[in-house]
A and B are shown apart, each in its own frame.
Chain A
């Protein structure tokens, strides 16, 4: 039996190995499990963008891009299995869409020398390129998100949050705990008090006690760090206790159609942060329709095209594609390896003009990465749900986060990691 297993696995690995000349960008996705509803849209966007490049431009720099998909179900053990099974195929960059798997992979990728790109999630302090050579988290990270949300609240309150009460409803996991320290610091600076309300990750739907507390304490604002079914349950519960929706703001992972639709009209006015545009009103969708959706090459038939998470997956693919293009330019060869792609990320520059060229004008913030800064500018904006029209509307421009507060935190956290792991600073 062992022998048969071995030969089957060997056959499977051989069959899965792409032609060597292709560029390989594995898609560690999750279309099953508790977060499947969210993960599947992201994975579609990620796949479709590369399909578009392959079909329209013949790949990147004339090289086709292969996107082998591997199902992680948001589970770290399966994530490890996926990483190990794809890294031998010449993988250029990983994007696991899970903070837990990211923490797992950060030490591994530094040894295997493969870049890890975690837009809007993962380890915030990976922004410090001096410590995290192989990790990139542009355009924005959790702490940027927290700061942009607080800035939005400051705008609403005429520049002062003194004496306000803000509750943080968070997924009780590495992901949900990330913003706590930043919000505490921001609380000190702006004078608001922070109430922390954890929601157990395994029981995302059970939020009665948290919302009871919110009803009792009547915080001025509720900020949510949720994912999967937790978001839907929270928005429903907020509607049940008649918490004003426009005072309820989610991070970008708590701001997609699947989160608000179950609550119906009651979700109207719910806000969330975001770092990219949404909807199909960008010129790129003409090409996407022509080359991907209509010929039937879209991932899952293109049913999620234009949704928030689809756009985010597409945006992640876009940044990766641009980094590969930059790497090809720097190294002078179209067949780049993982180390060259890392150099490409570090020299990456996505200007508004370039975004317009790519068919996505004003879609994302400007990205400039350097050896020290692997996180870009951190700019994000706020969107609001319009239940009647069934769509998200952008209600603020791209806002710069409060780097004065964030940078010391990032330095402290990354330096602690450097000390623990024995890393000497670069740059």
Chain B
């Protein structure tokens, strides 16, 4: 009733295989983009940018990256935090060494450097699978954090080992550093998030993505039908690490402005992003955004409700918040093990028939 496909005819294959085949979906997508690009920048303030939307977008990019690797190619990774650190330190080194080049190029280059590092740590995936691969990527996590702590060259020999994002502008607007306005921060992250999601969507429905999914579903069978596991697995690691590297670069330069490797990119970050992917839905672009929204926005919302509105003591609220988020994760996984994306798919199915399911 509300959500109809009746009368939505397709006369070409191209139309039939578009990302949003239903008109209503398409409109919803365009409307969301229009609001995101045209309305939100006009009304956003520092709190909404720094505490809500920018972290949401940055984590979405990281979740997209991990989803490509884990959700589409089936390679479990616990090294996300370490790869984000590579992105962050690469941006720092590049932007302090070549201050005249645009920071946006540095962020993309940082993604490229992370892709190379990711491929390097992806090599063991050719021989080991599943939990064993998870352990190998865990080694990457600890090694990278140790490296950025140990070698002072990476943090330009500063006394404390902290890296601080220098001020950089794009078209005369500050995009990093403390003078950045809320809309600028938000728009930079939004452009990256939308662009990368678009790339991810188109990669995953093309040949490359199909190869990844074949490897995920059964690697021996995939090899027999002609998928080269070497290229498939390494491209998955490269693309995934590129996304994660860009997320790390934005996390450091646009969102936080200063970072310390152990605290910002520790093992907790790897788990957080893995949870986002699992809760959002493995192998789903929408799921990456949904998972990031769930784990970034919900704690902020709960904090504001419990402390701001109900006036509870902050420590009690912080503990209750952990319990509520934890309980919701368990509930979601029991009710729908395939994540929020599957929940959304089911809702759409039901809405098609509603209110006359039989």
- Give the interface of A toward B (CB within 8 A): 5, 8-9, 11-13, 15-16, 29, 31-32, 36, 40, 69-71, 73, 75-77, 80-81, 84-85, 87-88, 99-100, 103-104, 106-108, 110-111, 123-125, 172-175, 177-178, 180-181, 198, 200-202, 413, 416, 420-422
Contact (A111, B178) CB under 8 Å given A77-B256, A103-B260: yes
Question: Which residues on A sit within 8 Å (CB–CB) of B322?
Answer: 32
B46 cross-chain contacts in A, Cβ below 8 A: 84, 87-88
Residues of B within 8 A of A16 (CB): 307-308
B260 x A173 contact (CB < 8 A): yes
When chains A and B are docked, how far (Å) is the Cα of A178 from the Cα of B303?
33
Check B277 for interface membership: any CB of A closer than 8 A. no
CA–CA, A178 and B159, complex, Å: 6
Tell me if B47 and A84 are in contact (CB < 8 A): yes
Known: A80-B255, A103-B162, A413-B159. 11 other contacts (CB 8 A): A5-B301, A8-B301, A15-B309, A32-B315, A75-B263, A76-B258, A76-B259, A76-B263, A80-B50, A81-B50, A174-B162
Q: B314 at interface (Cβ–Cβ under 8 A)?
A: yes
Selected contact of A124 from candidates B159, B177, B255, B297, CB within 8 Å? B159
Q: Is the CB of B267 within 8 A of A12?
A: no
Contact check, A9 vs B304: say whether CB atoms are below 8 A apart.
yes
Say yes or no: is B328 at the interface (Cβ < 8 Å to chain A): no
The contact string, 1 if C-beta is below 8 Å from chain A, for chain B 155-191, is 0001111101011000000000111000000000000
Query: In the complex, what residues of B have CB within 8 A of residue A5's CB?
Result: 297, 301
Known: A85-B47, A111-B178, A177-B160. A421 touches B315 (CB 8 A): no
The 9 closest A-B pairs by CB, nearest first: A12-B308, A31-B315, A107-B178, A174-B160, A12-B304, A71-B314, A81-B51, A111-B178, A32-B318
Query: Which residue of the partner chain B has the closest CB to A14?
Result: B308
Return B18 CB to nearest CB of chain A, in Å. Answer: 26
- Identify B263's interface contact among A36, A100, A123, A422, CB under 8 A: A100
Task: For residue A118, give the distance in angstroms from its CB to the closest CB of chain B.
Answer: 13
Contact assessment for B164 and A85 in the assembled complex, using a CB-CB cutoff below 8 Å = no
Given A71-B315, A107-B178, A420-B164, A80-B301 contact (CB < 8 Å): no
* A8 near B149: Cβ-Cβ < 8 Å: no
Question: CA separation between A99 and B259, bound complex, in Å?
Answer: 11
A9 partner, pick from B159, B258, B264, B301, beta carbons under 8 A: B301
Residue of A nearest to B54 (CB): A80
Partner of A421, one of B50, B167, B262: B167
B318 near A71: Cβ-Cβ < 8 Å: yes
- Contacts A8-B305, A12-B305 given; does A73 touch B262 at CB 8 Å: no
> Is B317 an interface position by the 8 A CB rule?
yes
Kindly list chain A residues whose C-beta atoms are within 8 Å of the C-beta of B256: 76-77, 80, 104
Contacts of B122 in A (CB 8 A): none
Cβ B164 vs Cβ A174 within 8 A? no
**B262-278 interface mask toward A, CB cutoff 8 Å, 1 = contact, 0 = none?**
11101110000000000
Give the residue of B161, B167, B267 whose beta carbon is less than 8 angstroms from that of A174.
Answer: B161
Q: Which of B96, B262, B268 is the most central at the interface, judged by chain A CB atoms within 10 Å of its CB?
A: B262
B3 nearest CB across to chain A (Å): 17
Alpha-carbon distance between A110 and B300 when the two chains are bound, in angstroms: 26
A182 to chain B, nearest CB (A): 9
Please tell me which one of the listed residues B47, B162, B178, B259 contacts residue A108 in the complex, with CB atoms under 8 A apart.
B178
Q: Does B319 have its Cβ within 8 Å of any Cβ on chain A?
A: yes
Contact across chains for A420 and B314 when beta carbons are under 8 A apart: no
Residues of B within 8 A of A103 (CB): 160, 162, 164, 258, 260
Q: Which residues of B contact A9 (CB under 8 A)?
A: 52, 300-301, 304, 308
Find A177's partner among B159, B301, B319 (CB 8 Å cutoff): B159
Q: Are A36 and B266 in contact (CB under 8 A)?
A: no
Given contacts A5-B297, A107-B258, contact A11 B309 (CB under 8 A): yes
Q: Known contacts A8-B305, A123-B160; decide if A174 and B260 are in contact (CB<8 Å).
A: yes
- B263, A107: Cβ atoms closer than 8 Å: no
- B224 CB, min distance to chain A CBs, angstroms: 44
How extensive is the interface on chain B, given as a class? 35 or more
Q: Which residues of B contact A125 (CB under 8 A)?
A: 159
Query: A36-B315, A174-B160 are contacts. A100–B260 as well, Cβ < 8 Å?
Result: yes
Chain B residue numbers with a CB within 8 Å of A76 are 256, 258-260, 263-264
Overall SS of chain A's interface: helix
Which chain B residue lies CB-closest to A79? B256
Instruction: Please report which residues of chain B, range 123-155, place their CB below 8 angstroms from some CB of chain A when the two chains form the complex.
Output: 149
Inter-chain CA distance A16–B47, complex, in Å, is 14
CA distance in complex: A111, B178 (Å):
6
B160 with A178: CB separation less than 8 A:
yes
* CA gap between A410 and B179 in the complex, in Å: 25
Interface flag for B55 (CB, 8 Å): yes
Contact across chains for A40 and B315 when beta carbons are under 8 A apart: yes
| Min distance, Cβ A51 to any Cβ of chain B, angstroms | 14
A77 lies within 8 A of B162 (CB): no
Closest to B150 in A: A198
Is the CB of B257 closer than 8 A to any CB of chain A? yes
Smallest CB-CB separation from B51: which chain A residue?
A81
Q: Which residues of A contact B259 (CB under 8 A)?
A: 76
- Look across to chain B and name the residue whose beta carbon is closest to the beta carbon of A6: B48
How far apart are the CA atoms of A362 and B140 in the complex, in Å? 52
Provide 17 A-B residue pairs closer than 8 Å at the C-beta atoms, listed in order of the A residue: A8-B309, A13-B308, A31-B314, A36-B315, A69-B313, A76-B258, A76-B264, A84-B50, A87-B46, A103-B260, A106-B258, A173-B260, A201-B263, A202-B266, A202-B268, A416-B158, A422-B167
Given contacts A9-B304, A201-B262, contact A70 B314 (CB under 8 A): yes
B315 touches A12 (CB 8 A): no
| B316 nearest in chain A by CB position | A31
Chain A residues positioned under 8 Å from B318 (CB to CB): 31-32, 71, 73
Q: A108–B160 contact, CB under 8 A?
A: no
| CB proximity of A43 to chain B, nearest CB, Å | 9
CB distance from A325 to the nearest CB of B (A): 27
Contacts of B160 in A (CB 8 A): 99, 103, 123, 174-175, 177-178
Interface centre among B52, B177, B300, B303, by most chain A C-beta atoms within 10 angstroms, is B303
With contacts A15-B308, A31-B314, A173-B263 taken as known, whether A77 is within 8 angstroms of B55 at the C-beta atoms is yes
- The reply to whether B264 and A71 form a contact with Cβ atoms under 8 Å apart is no
List the B side residues contacting A13 at CB < 8 Å: 47, 304, 308
Complex CA–CA separation, A124 to B96 (angstroms): 22
